[in-house]
Amino acid sequence: MLTDYFRYGIQNLTKRKMRSWLTMLGIFIGIAAVVALVSLGQGLQKYINDEFEKMGRDMILIQPKGELGAPGTTTPVQLTKEDLDEVLKVKGIDRAAGVPVGTIEIEFNDVKRYAFALAMPVDDSKEYSVLELMFIQNYGIELGKEIEDGDARKANLGHYYLNRNLFEKNVQLGNKVTLNGEVFEVVGFYEVIGNPSDDQNIYITRDAYYELFPEKKDVYNIIYAKAALSEEPSQVADRIERVLRKSRNLEEGKEDFTIQTADSFLEAFNVILGVVQAVLIGIAAISLFVGAVGIMNTMYTAILERTKEIGVMKAIGARNNDILLLFLIESGILGFVGGGIGVLIGMGFAKLVEIIATLVLQTALLKAYFPWYLIIGALMFSFLVGAASGLLPAWQASQLKPVDALRYE
């Protein structure tokens, strides 16, 4: 019987093609918006998770309070070599490294811009090993070579300088750029990281950094720590907080620094992303509501047109439940087909955004990701929206008396 109901519902919809397409319009616009937004959000979430997997879930980030945005932001609070030494003494710390970051003026082709300069590791000391893990193993040089110890007037640049015409022409290997008034030779370009800010970073040796920023000697914007394999990063982070609070003479609750583990950062990020996605999906749900109203209106019209048909079915033995199920399936098919078209449109739009982001913006943050549960969930949801929209008209159709239905003109 169910097979017959579905076949009968599809036949009725195909007889009224224009009305069916117009009815489904609101559904597939809404579903397309939901699929596109959720897939891009899932792609961003997957990208961030993958990056932290590369870096390691055992990483701990220590920053001055107030410097939670881009590194290099001016803040009255500073982390120093003494803080790094205290962190290295904490039980459960495998390695730790201080990262000096400063805003620098870069000039090329008589055009000036500003970017972040990072002091790169150039030896195998324990302090630098975490930075080697972060920058060298995760993101390698695409063109040229990495700076080495003694390269006081050489620099590596982020990928943006290689092909984004930031100075009205691209920087090339061997070109000279001016950093805070000092001339440096470009010896290498890093591969695409995906974050526009990171792809504009400038990497120089620590000695060169301190020559350009003498006031920042042994001052760090970030301290990265790596928990030992046998340790729980959150517990190590608590120990670091107690040690730094004591060494900086601070009361509990009045810390002038923040400590984040990779897991806590991901948790906070996922909460924020979830709120943003919920708001955007809520906006997209307006189209679904319009589509649901359209399905309800179409089903009312179908019942009026087929009142005699309902009377005939009841006269030959159809029960109220049969009529109810028949019209519910028909309205569900409207929602399902509209949802299927919406899924395809949403996937296409999300991939288009990804292509534009990759080719034009050169960022890997906007990637479309289509987990199976997103597709199946969207199709099931669209069927339920359609069936729910047709519930009231279907119930009214099931309550028609056979004699009244047969006499309807």
Same domain, 322 and 241: no
Same domain, 43 and 112: no
Instruction: Report residue 361's pLDDT band, with 50, 70 and 90 as the boundaries.
Output: low
Contact 372, 49 (CB under 8 A): no
Query: What's the total number of domains in the chain?
Result: 2
pLDDT at 409: 54
Same domain, 22 and 113: no
Same domain, 168 and 193: yes
pLDDT at 364: 66
Domain boundary among 255, 283, 311: 255
What does the pLDDT look like over 69-108, one tens digit per residue? 444 444 567 888 899 889 988 888 888 888 888 889 999 9
- 367 falls within a domain: yes
* Token pair of 145 as six digits: 């070579």
Same domain, 271 and 309: yes
Rounded percentage of the chain residues whose pLDDT exceeds 70: 86
pLDDT at 131: 47
For residues 296-325, give the mean pLDDT: 76
User: What DSSP character marks residue 109?
Assistant: T
Residue 138 has pLDDT above 60, yes or no: no
Work out the mean pLDDT of the chain and round it to a whole number: 80
| Top-confidence residue, 7 or 352 | 352
What does the pLDDT look like over 224-238, one tens digit per residue? 888 888 888 889 999
Residue 269 has pLDDT above 70, yes or no: yes
Residue 133 has pLDDT above 50, yes or no: no
Same domain, 217 and 280: no
H helix or E strand, kind and range, residue 190: strand 182-190
3-state SS of 264-300 is HHHHHHHHHHHHHHHHHHHHHHHHHHHHHHHHHHHHH
pLDDT at 100: 83
Secondary structure (3-state) at 227: strand
* Residue-range definition of the domain harbouring residue 141: 66-255
| Top-confidence residue, 189 or 194 | 189
Instruction: Report residue 180's pLDDT band, with 50, 70 and 90 as the boundaries.
Output: very high
| Top-confidence residue, 210 or 1 | 210
What does the pLDDT look like over 235-253, one tens digit per residue? 999 999 999 998 888 888 8
H helix or E strand, kind and range, residue 99: strand 93-99
Cβ–Cβ contacts within 10 Å for residue 406, how many?
16
Same domain, 209 and 297: no
Residue 30 CA to residue 37 CA, distance in Å, equals 11
